[in-house]
Amino acid sequence: MSEEILEQEVPETIVQVDSPEEAVKTLDDLWRNLIYQHREQIASYTALQESVSAMSFDQTETRVDFTKMNEMRDQLVKLEGGLETINLYRTLVLKEEAQPWIESEIQEQKKKIKVRTRPGYEKYTDWEADQSETDATLNKIK
């Protein structure tokens, strides 16, 4: 399950279905669905928050209705609660590791994927790329 989620490219291919039963057949489907909803909701919430921050509040006629922003934040809290609940189920019932659902944490976990090696090459199973060295010196145009 975890390898399957980590191998997906972002954004995933979204397929429209006729019913919720078709969209969520397994726990993994529910997990991906909630991650997608969270990603979309956080993008909308961030955009709305940026637009409110850019407004000028020095005029007395300025009125702002924060109802939509509060509803979006409430929806985000619910989605995050659902993701955390699935992680609790994973750890306590299935005895698996909790999975990250924040994009930066997913990227960080991708860096830690173990490499299967042949006998004699075990020292390479924990190998990680040194991005600072690679980016600074190796990726230069000649």
- In a domain, residue 135? The reply is no
Q: pLDDT by residue (tens digit) across 26-37? A: 888 888 889 989
- What is the reported pLDDT for 115? 64
- In a domain, residue 142? The reply is no
- In a domain, residue 38? The reply is yes
- In a domain, residue 125? The reply is no
Q: What is the 3-state secondary structure (H, E, C) of 76-98?
A: HHHHHHHHHHHHHHHHHCCCCCC
More confidently predicted of 45 and 106: 45
Domain count along the chain: 1
- What is the reported pLDDT for 6? 39
Q: Which residues contact 128 (CB under 8 A, 6 or more apart)?
A: 111, 112
More confidently predicted of 77 and 22: 77
Q: In which region does residue 35 sit, left (phi positive, over 0), alpha (psi from -120 to 50) or beta (all else)?
A: alpha
pTM: 0.61
Any idea how long the chain is?
Answer: 142
Range of the domain at 32: 2-114
Residue range 3-11: mean pLDDT, rounded:
42
pLDDT above 70 coverage of the chain, percent: 66
